[in-house]
Amino acid sequence: MFWILAAVAWGVLFFLRRYRKLSAVGPLLAVATFAVVAADLPIRFAFAVSEHALSAYVRSLPMHPESVTVGDVEAGLGVEWVGLFPVGRAVRHVGSTDLGVVGSGGWLEFCGLTYSTGTIRATSADHLSGRWYVTCEAF
């Protein structure tokens, strides 16, 4: 959503003649865009809006001593939207639940959200709120 708003603002500045005269607005908008993204505000906003839905989804997953894969987009089991996040894979371990967010990560990296009550099984983890973390697994 943030990127759509930023694109609209840039489009207005570029295509409307009366706004082209405001030469300082473009660089200020670029700096503001960089600052918002550097502060992780888009992910934090999306998480704040979706936290209740994500928590309810995690509670609804079946518990198994090892792990249970509820969905896997690579296996063709589909994508389920939970709040503002497209979850393509949900794995519930004892002590944590990993939600794979479709479109996140890189070529050799799988990223998503983790709800942890114990240890986190990830290469990197950044705390979001409470027991929620953004995690990435490098291959």
Task: Give Cα separations from 11 to 4, 16, 27, 34, 97 (angstroms).
Answer: 10, 8, 14, 17, 41
Q: What is the pLDDT of residue 54?
A: 95
Q: What is the pLDDT of residue 126?
A: 87
pLDDT in 10s for each residue of the chain, 139 residues: 667 777 777 777 667 666 566 666 677 777 888 888 888 888 899 999 999 999 999 988 887 655 455 555 555 557 888 999 998 888 887 888 888 888 787 778 888 999 998 778 778 888 899 999 999 888 7
Model confidence, pTM: 0.71
Q: What is the pLDDT of residue 66?
A: 54
Amino acid letter for position 111: C
Answer whether 81's CB lies under 8 Å from 57's CB: no
